[in-house]
Structure 1
Amino acid sequence: MCEEQPSGVDGQADGTSVGRRRLLLASAGAATVSLTGCLGGGGDGNTEPPAAVTIPETATCEVCGMVIRQHPGPSAEIFYKDQQPNGHENPARFDSTWEAYQYEFEKDGSGWEDVAFYVTDYSSVDYETYEDGGDILITRHFEASTFVSATDVTYVVDSEVKGTMGRDLIAFSNREDAESFQSEHGGSLTTHDGVTPEVVAGLGM
């Protein structure tokens, strides 16, 4: 299920690189995913959520087991209350956003409570897209400062740009950045509440 993809290690890309574009190019009629979200979590409201952390060099994805920092694309982290994901300390770590949501849906159904959900914020980094093996890939960013709460982003869903595990949810804290990315690379726009199991099932390889 988890075959390795061509990678841009530590944010470095081989092949043709395309620098980050910040001009607003989106059309007024851009499609938006409008499905209703069903994620829970958030803690008891009396304490601050844990801060995002830098993904360790040897950390692997909770879903597919691949070493996260060796491959391109969005990363994600989820902290759970009184739980140890796969037997290690929080957070649960992922090499794609859609796998993080898949994992969250499963754990939510098992009664786990998420207290913080972070995704790569492509509005906060100088990312690159590049061609490799016929695919258009996007760089990986794993430092704590590059993460933002999943509730504070606009996602570009199912664009032509891929990460480690194929087409993904690419997050921007600035909606205009998401619209610009969508205009250039296709896909649709949604937010955290619009990510459902059906949306996730349409992503990946």
Structure 2
Amino acid sequence: MRTLFSLQSLAIALLLSLGVACSDQNTEQQAMVRQAAAIEQADECHLCGMIISRFPGPKGESYSKSTESVSKFCSTRDLFSYILQPENQRQVKEIYVHDMSKTPWQKPEDEYFIDAREAWYVIGSEKKGAMGKTLASFARQEDANSFMAEFGGKVYQFDEISIEML
């Protein structure tokens, strides 16, 4: 009887740990979304001062290491223009962009922010953002490739993007 109770306890513990392991990926994405700040109706772009919510296309956010403050951007182009400046590169702690495979182009939704360093970007597409041409951002390379096939451009990873490309 005691052995049966031990086996049942072991089986329950294994199932619980398996459930926790499977949910780690979702928990990580959910934690990121909680860290990305909501874009409010009157928020202005940190770089150009335009009202962010008035424009289509993916938006961006950057958190500073020193002040823990968030800077919001009306487009991924403005985000990259800011974070690629040498004086800002060392200060950036976290960066978020919209996953455009999950949210409408005309009005991206805050729950679809992803880690910008892990995202795939399409540069040179026909889709316009707040500042004209923008970098379409995606969580998966396959989604970026599909977007590129439909709207043109070229797919890049975060570390491949330079200030000259903007």
- Which position in structure 1 is the counterpart of 2:20? none
> Once the two structures are superposed, what CA deviation does each residue of 1:49-105 show, in whole Å capped at 9, x if it has no partner?
88111112210001111110111111000000123xxxxx72100001011111112
Matches of 1:80 and 1:142 in 2, distance apart?
23
Question: Which one of the candidate residues 116, 123, 126 is aligned to 1:150?
Answer: 116
- Which position in structure 2 is the counterpart of 1:98? 77
* Alignment check: 8 A CA contact 1:120 1:148 kept: yes
* Alignment check: 8 A CA contact 1:96 1:163 kept: yes
Question: Which one of the candidate residues 44, 51, 54 is aligned to 1:60?
Answer: 44
C-alpha deviation, 1:119, in angstroms: 0.5
SS at match of 2:84: helix
* Alignment check: 8 A CA contact 1:159 1:167 kept: yes
C-alpha deviation, 1:111, in angstroms: 6.8
2:164 equivalent to 1:186: no
Q: Please list every run of 5 or more consecutive structure 1 residues that lacks an aligned counterpart in the other structure.
A: 1-47, 84-88, 128-137, 201-205
Matches of 1:178 and 1:192 in 2, distance apart?
13
* Alignment check: 8 A CA contact 2:82 2:88 kept: no
Matches of 2:76 and 2:91 in 1, distance apart?
18
* Alignment check: 8 A CA contact 1:150 1:192 kept: yes
Larger relative contact order (Cα-Cα within 8 Å, sequence gap ≥ 6): 1
The structure whose Rg is larger is: 2
Matches of 1:194 and 1:168 in 2, distance apart?
16
SS at match of 1:159: coil
2:57 equivalent to 1:78: no
Give TM-score, length-normalised by structure 1.
Answer: 0.61
* Alignment check: 8 A CA contact 1:78 1:118 kept: yes
SS at match of 1:101: helix
Q: Tell me which amino acid in the other structure corresponds to 2:95.
A: F
C-alpha deviation, 1:123, in angstroms: 2.3
Equivalences, count: 135
SS at match of 2:80: helix
RMSD of Structure 2 on Structure 1 (CA): 2.0
- Which position in structure 2 is the counterpart of 1:36? none
Greater helix percent: which structure?
2
- Which position in structure 2 is the counterpart of 1:116? 94
User: Segments of 4+ in structure 1 off by > 6 A?
Assistant: none
Matches of 1:123 and 1:152 in 2, distance apart?
15
Matches of 1:198 and 1:182 in 2, distance apart?
20
